[in-house]
Every structure is written in structure tokens, then in C-alpha cells.
A and B are shown apart, each in its own frame.
Chain A
């Protein structure tokens, strides 16, 4: 699962380039340019993928950190 999440992050970075909507002026819901709507969806997708990362890739060993002795 760890690898799946990291692959998803790379996929997000690829999807972010969004060459396919570059010249389109289509309005989603009649008011939002598709280029803006698509990238708002990328932001939501980023939230979902990062949520998965906290579920499946979280470094639990970090919790065991000790306070400095000095």
C-alpha cells in the first residue's frame, strides 16, 4: 500500500500538468472555467491522497522520539 500511495502522488503531479484542458473555455455548472475546476479537483484529490498517506505510510516509529537529555 505504501508504494500505491507514492505512485498516486506521482500520478497527481502528472495530472497537474493538465495539457488536455489548456485551450478549453468550457464552463462547468455554467460558471467555472474547466481549467480552474479541474485544478480545484486536483486540490481535493491531493487532500484524499495525503489522507491515504497518513493511513498507510505514516512513520509510527517517529512517535518514540525521546526528549534531549541536556
Chain B
């Protein structure tokens, strides 16, 4: 009976999200700008929550504890504190400026900006498949993970349903993966379909609050259960004393790999779904709160999760059953093992919140790109009225959700290895957006060279990593007797930057009229 409680809590949570999406749709004015950009009406709090919710995927809860379990506390510096500095840098240096240009020139997508800035139709055709291609693995990870999480957390809810019996104790009798993922896709589709960007922003804010609060609650409950002491501080100290030395330090971590990881969060500067969120801001000042609070929010979510991950290595976790071999299963395992089904249900809701708060923006963004950059651009933006363009965007969103779900059914295992490669690809396009905003000398040919070099270098290194199968793949540079490990993004980023600079310096500059529009 008890796993049913978990399932009921998940269902109530999904129902609340649907209600929120429907409420947001009541404010919908019927225009394309309202559907895609919430009529530039989003204030500081909603912008903070939606940007944070979108950048923090399921990885923030499940992956952070899993990586800490595997690598130790160093993952916080590598993935979290670096993002606190770099993400806000991107919001400030790239986001505010793009918001201003987007509002002035009526952009809804990155490609509209690049086409205009570089006076080139072809750059849109080149960027479109790359941006969509880099977002799709990201979407797949979310959809597949949602099915896995729901199945493992509801295991035992339906012991007598033959179709739900997997034969594995950890998942037997749980809602099947295909069904859990399907329900999540439908819920996201409904609130994005009806609520558009406003519904997405509201849902993101709600979901971000949920996963932040539940992360902290889970931390306290697990500390009490594992530590076995009377007070929270005594429990924390007992757990701290038991952390193995290699997990409490970074002795096994490469210093140069740690350093070059700083480039990965620059991906935020080129995420198409964040571009769209930036454009929803009411004013430039709206960005101030997200710029300041983003690093603090990252800390609130990540520190407890990293500590839980290293606690799992202490030997204080009661066994049997043995700890799962998959590090990403550590947090759900501890919650299920140490807490009651009610907290299990809430934590599942928190994990789903983190997943869905990224999925919704990505679905909406790809639908908007198809609608504006392909249909609108080639058929003519004036050919259809606003209402029809909203229907076109919605039609594409349905198509993308359907395609993503269908692809997820194939359960491509390698897609999880693609995560870091997608981020590296986006990060290596950062020089392009930075130069487009701040360097008058950027030329159309320089932009093409940068994008093509990024693709070529990315693909070469991706192949070297056995298409992501070698998850610890790094570049090794030998200087004298020392060998230094570098993240692949360092090489791709450097190649992209050099190509952009060299080709721009030797090719014809943009017209004065174009430059005046962007630097006037």
C-alpha cells in the first residue's frame, strides 16, 4: 500500500502543474509575442526562478549527489561554484544586451538575431540544425530520466499487475518507464500548449521552489537517519568524521581538468531556450535579481546534495541491500531506504520538477524556432496573422514532444554520455555570440568559420571519445616531464575563437548600416 502514497503525491503534483498552466492561459492575449515571449512582461522574481529552473536539470539533484558519491566534494567547485560565476556573467554580459536588441528589433529567436547581425540568411540554415541537434539529447535525457525515476520510486505499488513486473526487485510493480515518461510529456505539453511562455515561467517558478525546498528537507531527514545522533549539528559532525579522505578532498582530481571545466558553463550564453527566457524580461533592470541570486541559489541546492553524495561513501548507510552501482541512483536509493513514502513522493515530485522545468522551455523554444526561423522566415512573417502563427508554434510543439517521446522509447543509452558534449558544443559557440555583440569586426565569413570549426573539432574529439562511451575522455598535453589533462571543450573553444578572429580579420567588414543598427 505504501508505494501507492508516493504515486498519489506524484499525481497530485502533476495535477497542480496542469492547473497552473491553465491559469496562465487565462491571461493569454492571443498574440504571437504573448505566446512566445509573454509580451516581455516577466518581472525579477519570475525571471530568477525560470532562469534558475531552466539551467538546473535533474542533474542538480540526482547527478550532483551521484557525482559526489563517485568523485568526492570536488564536483561542487567543478560544476557548481564555477556556474555561479559564469552563468551570472552570461546573464549580465550577453543576456541584457540581447534583451535590448531583441526588444528593439523584434527578435524571438537567436537565429533571427544572427541573421540580422551578420546580414546572412545562410547562417540561420547552418545554425538551426546545430542548435536543435544539441538540444535534442538534452530533451531525451529529461524524458528518459522521468520514466526511470517514477518507476523506481513507485516500485511495489502494483505487485499484482503482470505488465508492471520487471523481475527486478528495485523496479518490480512500479509504473513502467514508458508510462511515466508519457505522462510527464503530456503534462508538460498541456501547460506549454495552453500557457505558452507565461505558463512555462509560472510552472518553472513553482517547480524551482519545490525542488529547492525538498532538497533541503531531504538533506535534514537523511542526516538524522544516517547520523543517529540527537541534534542536526551532532549528526552532521558524525557524518563528516566518517567521510573517506579521497572524497573529502580532491586528491584524485586533475587540477588542469578542474581549471578547463570553467569553460563548460559558458554554454548558457548560447542556449536557445535561455535566449527566449531573457527576452521575456520586462526591462533591463529585471536581470539584476537573477544576476545576483543565481550563485546563491546554486549553493542552496548543490551543497546539501554533494554532502549527501559523500555521506553515502561513509559506511554509515545500513546494508543490505547493497548500494546501487549506478551513482545517479544514490539519492533515490537513500530516500527510499531511509525515509517514508510521503517524503519519497515529495522528493520524486522535486526531481520531476527539476526535469520538467528544463523540458518545458526546450519544447517551447524548438517550437518557436521552427515557427519563426523556418516557416515564418521562408513563407513570410506577414503571410499569417498572429493567431495562425500561435497555432503553427503549438503544432510544432506537439510534433517535437511526439518525436522526443518516440526517440526516448528506443532508450539510447549513449544519450547520457552526450550531456557534457552538448554543453561543450554550446560553450564553444560562445565566442560567436560574444563577438556578435561586442566586436564590430566580426564578419559573416568569420562567423561561418567559427561555427564550422566548432562542428569539425567537436565531431573529431567526440569520435576520439568513442562517441561518448569513454566518459572520462580528456586531452593530454605533455610539457617537459609533466602531463596535463584538459577537458575537450578547451580545444574546441580555442579552435572556434581562432577561426573567428583570423577569418574576420581578412574578410570584408559588415556594412555601415548593419553596424549602425547594432553599435549605434
Chain A residues with a Cβ under 8 A of chain B: 9, 12-13, 16-19, 22-25, 27, 29-33, 35-36, 39-40, 42-44, 46-47, 50-51, 53-54, 58-60, 62-63, 65-68, 70
Contacts and interface: CB of A to CB of B under 8 A. Distances in A.
Contact of A46 (B88, B237, B303): B88
Contacts of A67: 103-104
B250 A12 contact: no
Contact of B243 (A33, A40, A53, A62): A33
Contact of A33 (B85, B240, B291, B294): B240
A13 B258 CA distance: 12
B74 interface: yes
Interface residues of B, number: 52
Contacts, number: 139
A50 B92 contact: yes
Given A43-B299, A44-B299, 15 more contacts: A16-B82, A22-B251, A25-B249, A27-B241, A33-B240, A35-B250, A40-B81, A42-B77, A44-B296, A50-B291, A59-B96, A62-B96, A62-B100, A65-B284, A68-B104
A28 B38 CA distance: 46
B222 to A, nearest CB: 14
Q: Looking at A16, A30, A67, which has the most chain B CB atoms within 10 Å of its CB?
A: A16
A27 B248 CA distance: 9
List 8 A-B pairs, minimum CB-CB distance, nearest first: A31-B240, A68-B106, A31-B236, A62-B284, A46-B295, A43-B299, A33-B248, A39-B81
B292 A42 contact: no
Q: Indicate the member of A18, A22, A50, A68 with the most B CB atoms within 10 Å.
A: A50
Interface of B is mostly: helix
Nearest to B96: A62
Given A31-B239, A35-B249, A63 B285 contact: yes
A12 B85 contact: yes
Contacts of B76: 35-36, 39-40
A9 B296 CA distance: 16
B97 interface: yes
B262 A19 contact: no
B239 A46 contact: no
For the residues of A in contact with B, the DSSP-based class is helix
Interface of B: 73-74, 76-77, 80-82, 84-85, 88-89, 92, 96-97, 99-100, 103-106, 233, 236-237, 239-241, 243, 245, 248-251, 255, 258-259, 262, 283-285, 288, 291-296, 298-299, 303, 306-307, 310
A17 B259 contact: yes
Contacts of B288: 54, 58
Given A16-B262, A40-B303, A58-B288, A35 B255 contact: no
A36 B307 contact: yes
Given A50-B92, A65-B100, A31 B237 contact: yes
Contact of B106 (A18, A27, A30, A70): A70
Contact of B85 (A22, A30, A46, A68): A46
A47 B92 CA distance: 13
B100 A43 contact: no
7 contacts: A23-B251, A24-B249, A25-B243, A53-B291, A54-B292, A67-B103, A68-B105
Nearest to A18: B77
Nearest to B245: A25
Which of B100, B239, B293 is the most central at the interface, judged by chain A CB atoms within 10 Å of its CB? Answer: B100
Contact of B292 (A24, A25, A51): A51
A3 to B, nearest CB: 15
A63 to B, nearest CB: 5
B296 A43 contact: yes
A16 B77 contact: yes
B96 A33 contact: no
Contacts of B259: 17
B81 A42 contact: yes
Contact of B296 (A24, A47, A65, A68): A47
B292 A50 contact: yes
Nearest to A68: B106
Nearest to A27: B240
A22 B249 contact: yes
A19 to B, nearest CB: 7
Contact of A31 (B82, B233, B295): B233
B295 A44 contact: yes
Nearest to B73: A36
B505 to A, nearest CB: 26
A46 B297 CA distance: 11
A2 B156 CA distance: 59
Nearest to A13: B85
Contacts of A29: 233, 236-237
B255 A19 contact: yes
A8 to B, nearest CB: 11
Contacts of A23: 249-251
Given A30-B240, A43-B298, A54-B291, A16 B85 contact: yes
A47 B96 contact: no
A14 to B, nearest CB: 10
Contacts of B240: 27, 30-33
